Structure 1
Amino acid sequence: MYSQPNILLITSDQQHWNTIGAFQPEISTPNLDRLVREGTMFERAYCPNPTCTPSRASIITGMYPSQHGAWTLGTKLLEDRHTVGEDFSAAGYKTTLIGKAHFQPLKSTPEYESKEAYPVLQDLEYWRKFHGPFYGFDHVELARNHTNEAHVGQHYALWLEENGCTNWRQYFLPPTGTMNPKQTYKWPIPERYHYNAWIAERTNARLEEHNKTGVPFFLWASFFDPHPEYLAPEPWDTMYDPEELTIPALVPGEHDRNPPHFGMTQEENPDFSEWMETGFGIHGYRSHHYYEYGGKERLTEYDKKKLVAVYYGMISLMDKYIGSILDKLDELGLAENTLVVFTTDHGHFFGQHGLQAKGGFHYEDLIKLPFIVRYPGRVPAGRKSSAIQSLVDLAPTFLSFCGLPIPPAMAGVNQKDVWLGSRESARDHAICEFRHEPTTIHQKTYVDDRYKITVYYNQTYGEIFDLKEDPGELRNLWSEPGYEGLKSELLLKYVWAELGKEPMPMPRIHHA
């Protein structure tokens, strides 16, 4: 007999799906491997958008970016949107978010105010007093920086000072700090002051509080790594030998059949000006021979290897602190009645298809996710499943496990029976959206058990990949002779999927 379960969501940021040691022998992740042994690994999980704000907003709303409105970076999730934390709070749960939110942009305007914007971002007295409510979370402890970014502040900076790191600014970039922007790979910050340590310590403190009160909880531990810049403290920056790793690379000619922005990324000085509408930066539309982060520095052959080594080191460091959270669950006797989900907000390129970081390229590397579910005695242990998952499914599934009603406006599907192993699948496809400009960068991808199709707004080009015969996604079938029937079939299935994901805010209650 099980009481109402606790929910612990653990996420990374921008983690490639194939970076878990249980399935990838070149990387060490003993604690994620432990979750794999003790739970179910879902091999076909997808993000609803391959950038942070839209995907994270989908996690807490159960809606697609085109529905909840936070459609790209630099937008915000409007405060009138319903979130799953509100449902848990109404049911008597305590709701907490520790780490990265990124529901709001770095700039605030009178019409669209942002708590994650300058200057309030670094008003430490403000954050000393503010812990919520925030998007359905009763209690939040937040930060906004990836590695040494100048955006450091909020509760993380307070924690640094409270723990004796009064010189914390030297580990972060100007104008906030004094770290040399040219320094890469090795982050001089001591590990005990790394934000992984902060997230784990504060998550564990909340677990101890919940254990004392006995009140059920919905807790999101939201890690920042392995999002670039590629930086890790000693000894994690040198944990992996770059010469011993498999380094992905462009296959010559693979972009010849792709939409134009693919091939342009391999040019020295491509002109993407016709794609720019808002005047703000557009992720991925650049030469991928250079760093996207930390200034325009050309990627040498050494860099292409070393960045992978440090990326893996960042994941292994994060894994250590995920382990401390799992250990705390065991120590407190909470593990048996806590549903744990580990995943990420979207994937990452580190050389695949000649690409780095992220952008408008819906390869599996970017939109597929690591996704593990553990609930002892209920979710099968040591199992791998090919059932398709989406991050929009998290909110309704969490509510279902806790016996709470699912708001009809949520577009995600309830995966409870799939997670329990009593049903083979709950969806036959996933949809991923990428709208980075109002009209010029606006695409959607439909992916099912075998095929993937990507369509672009106002464009006649697109992509079709056969994931069974071409798992590396090297042969775009969109314009290939002999595949016209497949193209028509997939376009129809995509339209059906779009129609099917339209939410119904209420049931029909009368004939007129």
Structure 2
Amino acid sequence: MKLARRPNILFITSDQQHWNTIGLDNPEVKTPNLDRLAQRGCLFERAYCPNPTCTPTRASIITGMYPSQHGAYSLGTKLDEKHPTLGQALSKNGYKTSLVGKAHFQQLISTPEYPSIESYPILRDLDYWKKYDETFYGFDHVELARNHADECHVGQHYALWMEEKGLTDWAKHFQNAWGDYKFTDFDTSPQYLKWSIPEEYHYNAWIAERTNALMEESARQDEPFFLWASFFDPHPPYIVPEPWDSLYDPAEVTVPQATPGEHDKNPEHFRKTQEENPDFSDWKEEGGNAMHGCSSHLQDKESLAKEIAVYYGMISCMDKYIGQILDKLDALGLADNTLIVFTSDHGHFYGHHGLNAKGPFHYEDLVKVPFIASWPGQIEAGSRSAAIQSLVDLAPTFLAATGTAIPRSMTGLDQSKSWTGQQAPARTHAVVENRHQPTTLHLKTYVDARYKLTTYYNREYGELFDLQADPGELNNLWDSPDHKDLKAALVLKLLHAEMGKEPLPMPRVSMA
């Protein structure tokens, strides 16, 4: 791709956002700024995460590798600094690379073997963060936080910013203790639905303000930038400052529910979620990690409606501050030469299939994500695409768009020419991984234009859905005798997809 001038890249992400929560397609949610971004560019309708949990996907975004390749396969794991990253490659090519907001490349508990600066007690050591001036996974400049809403994991640069803004008693708006760590003498219980913190001190305001300041700095210095504005919402807990907590009426939101009998053909761990006190002990193995989602998902419709209303409020609040970033980009005169991508690290259940939050359940609600790409003069404005995308493709695509060499370690695909209409879609399928236990919760999903197949390591069960005939994924065809040949064909396609994920071999050096 020939470029007269290297483009800036503004990368905006939410956290755990359902794919169908952009107002352009869902009138129940108000997102005027995401709507206008979609109208400036392309709304991709089939974008998938490489893993439906935070650390694995975020590590894939910056390495262009799948979790099974970069090693940060689950929450509580660490991305090894040895891997080449997007930030490193762009920095070498003259870009100022920055991240503001959530990183989550490292774990909350540091160990001698796997040290982590996103861990206790460092994240609450504000003197440490005042002096922090190092590159972080290839980013020249980072301003970090780790908490979702009022979680006690608050600290780092976000806490420093609150103090600079005059909110010296910020700790009273956050939970006080985690495990053996207790930070103040007063007790703050978890808040619900309404968050006590004034909106002006919300981390959305922090991310927008600091993102805009960094764009101004790059504009003054006339340097190309890669800037990741990494928002924390609408990841639970479900709380947001007023007036956003009451923006939506719980009585007027659609509340997804399980369809009676839909889990009868599914693996047992699906059915257990619909029990009051399920026993998942048979799924726990030595050497395993926390099993997110392996618990009861039962919830009364009234309380779920209240949470959905606040979930939407969290999205709309975030959208306001995304709008401030887009406005600043316009005001700086940078919009015409900036590739903007908005997406989320993975999806979310809020009643779909009787499930909540996330877990080893690879329905579209969890593995598909909102995805918008805008690039004036390159990506057709107001367009839509059903071409399959994967977040593992972002690093090689960003590098190609900037004329930067793609490291051979990156196994994601370059989508840049597909986005700009110069080539056919780069993908025929996506692969989604999920691993928390060595065998019992170790699954992979293959999804193409029509079908979705999920297999479990050393297990006979699985899922097979015809997304064309059964878009709601209610009829698992895995054990259907009429679909044995289809299942075999899709298993072979998954095997081929796994082989295709392998890094390119080193070129042969002639011995002549």
TM-score, normalised to structure 2, is 0.97
1:431 is the counterpart of 2:440 = no
Alignment correspondent of 2:378: 378
Shift of 1:285: 0.3
Distance in 2, matches of 1:237 and 1:505, equals 52
Match for 2:434: what amino acid? F
1:463 maps to amino acid: E
Q: Which residue of 1 aligns with 2:340?
A: 340
Q: Which residues in structure 2 correspond to 1:195-344 (within 5 Å)?
A: 195-277=203-285, 278=287, 280-289=289-298, 299-344=299-344
Deviation per residue, 1:370-424 (Å, 9 max, x gap)? 0000011111000000010001100000011111111111100010111102323
How many angstroms apart in 1 are the aligned matches of 2:371 and 2:32?
16
CA distance in 1, matches of 2:201, 2:372: 28
C-alpha displacement of 1:167: 1.0
Go from structure 1 to structure 2 and tell me whether the alpha carbon gap of 1:458 and 1:379 turns closer, same or farther (over 3 Å shift). Answer: same
Name the SS for the 2:387 alignment partner.
Answer: strand
Q: Alignment partner of 1:491: what SS? A: helix
Distance (Å, rounded) in 1 between the aligned partners of 2:176 and 2:155: 13
Measure the CA separation in 2 of the matches of 1:179 and 1:448: 50
CA distance in 1, matches of 2:305, 2:27: 17
Q: Is the 8 A contact 1:387 1:424 kept in 2?
A: no
Aligned residue for 2:10, secondary structure, equals strand
Moved over 6 A (4+): none
Offset from partner CA, 1:308-333 (integer Å, 9 cap, x none): 00000000000000000000000000
Instruction: State the distance in 1 between where 2:133 and 2:451 align.
Output: 45
User: Are residues 1:63 and 2:65 paired?
Assistant: yes
Q: Secondary structure at the match of 1:483?
A: helix
- Corresponding residue for residue 50 of structure 1: 52
Residue pair 1:60, 1:84 contacting (<8 A) in 2 also: yes
Q: Secondary structure at the match of 1:387?
A: coil
What is the aligned partner in structure 2 of residue 360 from structure 1?
360
Residues in 2 aligned to 1:505 and 1:125: alpha-carbon distance in whole angstroms: 45
Amino acid at match of 2:142: V
Of the three residues 171, 174, 187, the one matched with 1:172 is 174
The corresponding residue for 1:488 is 488
Structure 2: which 5+ runs fail to align?
A: 178-182
Give the Cα separation in 2 of the matches to 1:445 and 1:34: 33
CA–CA distance in 2 between the matches of 1:359 and 1:250? 16
Please point out which of 25, 28, 35 is paired with 1:26. 28
Task: Provide, for residues 47-97 of structure 1, a one-character-per-residue CA deviation record: whole Å limited to 9, x for no partner.
Answer: 000000000000000000000110100000011111111000101111000
The answer to whether the 8 Å contact 2:199/2:242 transfers is yes
**What do the CA deviations read for 1:213-232 (whole angstroms, capped 9, x no partner)?**
01111110000000000001
> Deviation of residue 211 (structure 1)?
0.4
Q: RMSD of the TM alignment (CA)?
A: 1.2
Deviation at 1:179? 6.5
* Partner Cα distance (1:4, 1:422) in 2: 18
Matches within 5 A, 1:382-401: 382-401=382-401
Cα distance in 2, alignment partners of residues 179 and 300 from structure 1: 29
Cα distance per residue 1:156-190 (max 9 Å; x no partner): 00000010001101110122465643531000100
Q: Distance in 1 between matches of 2:274 and 2:189?
A: 25
**In the alignment, what sits opposite 1:141?**
143
1:301 Cα deviation after fit = 2.7
Q: Is the contact between residue 409 and residue 506 of structure 1 (CA under 8 Å) also seen in structure 2?
A: no
Deviation at 1:279, TM superposition (A): 6.5
Question: Higher mean Cα deviation, 417-426 or 445-454?
Answer: 417-426
Q: Is the 8 A contact 2:347 2:368 kept in 1?
A: yes
Equivalence for 2:117: 115
SS in 1 for 2:489: helix
Q: For residues 404 and 311 of structure 1, do their structure 2 counterparts lie closer, same or farther at Cα, with a shift above 3 Å needed? A: same
Structure 2: distance between partners of 1:116 and 1:229: 20
Q: Give, in whole Å, the separation in 1 of the partners of 2:405 and 2:191.
A: 51
Q: CA–CA distance in 1 between the matches of 2:8 and 2:289? A: 41
The answer on 1:404 being equivalent to 2:408 is no
Deviation at 1:303, TM superposition (A): 1.0
C-alpha distance in 1 between matches for 2:345 and 2:154 = 20
Decide whether the 8 Å contact of 1:394 with 1:412 is kept in 2.
yes
Q: Separation in 2 of the partners of 1:508 and 1:324?
A: 50
| 168-177 or 71-80, larger mean C-alpha shift | 168-177
Match of 1:462 in 2: 462
How far the C-alpha of 1:305 sits from its partner, in A, is 0.4
Amino acid at match of 1:35: L
Is this contact kept in 1: 2:42–2:374, CA < 8 A? yes
Shift of 1:438: 2.1
The aligned amino acid for 2:96 is: K
* Aligned twin of 1:88: 90
Aligned counterparts of 1:495 and 1:300: Cα–Cα separation in 2: 41
Which whole-Å CA distance do the structure 2 matches of 1:185 and 1:20 have between them?
Answer: 21
Which amino acid is 1:286 matched to?
Answer: S
Shift of 1:282: 1.2
Distance change in 2, residues 1:379/1:511 (3 Å): farther
Deviations 1:428-468 (A, max 9, x none): 00000001122221000000000000000010000000000
Aligned equivalents of 1:481, 1:159: Cα separation in 2: 61
- Taking a change above 3 Å as real, the CA distance of residues 181 and 280 of structure 1, as seen in their structure-2 partners, is farther
1:46, 1:375 → 2: CA distance?
21
Per-residue Cα deviation, 1:7-66 (whole angstroms, up to 9, x for no partner): 110000000000000010110000000011000011000000000000000000000000
Report the Cα distance in structure 2 between the residues aligned to 1:4 and 1:438, rounded to whole angstroms.
Answer: 44
Contact 1:26 1:245 in 2 (8 A): yes
Number of residues paired by the alignment? 503
Aligned-partner Cα distance in 1 for 2:119–2:505: 32
Check whether the contact 1:64–1:392 (CA below 8 A) recurs between aligned residues.
Answer: yes
Distance 1:413 1:504 in 2: 12
Q: Which residue of 2 aligns with 1:294?
A: none
CA contact (8 A) 2:74 2:289 kept: no
Normalised to the residue count of structure 1, the TM-score between the two structures is 0.97
Q: Deviations over 1:130-160 (max 9, x none)?
A: 1320000010000000000000000000000
Cα distance in 2 for residues equivalent to 1:443 and 1:187: 37
Which of 102, 105, 128 is equivalent to 2:104?
102
Q: Structure 1 unaligned runs (5+)?
A: 290-298
Equivalent pair of 2:289/2:436 in contact (CA under 8 Å): no
The residue identity in structure 2 corresponding to 1:312 is: Y
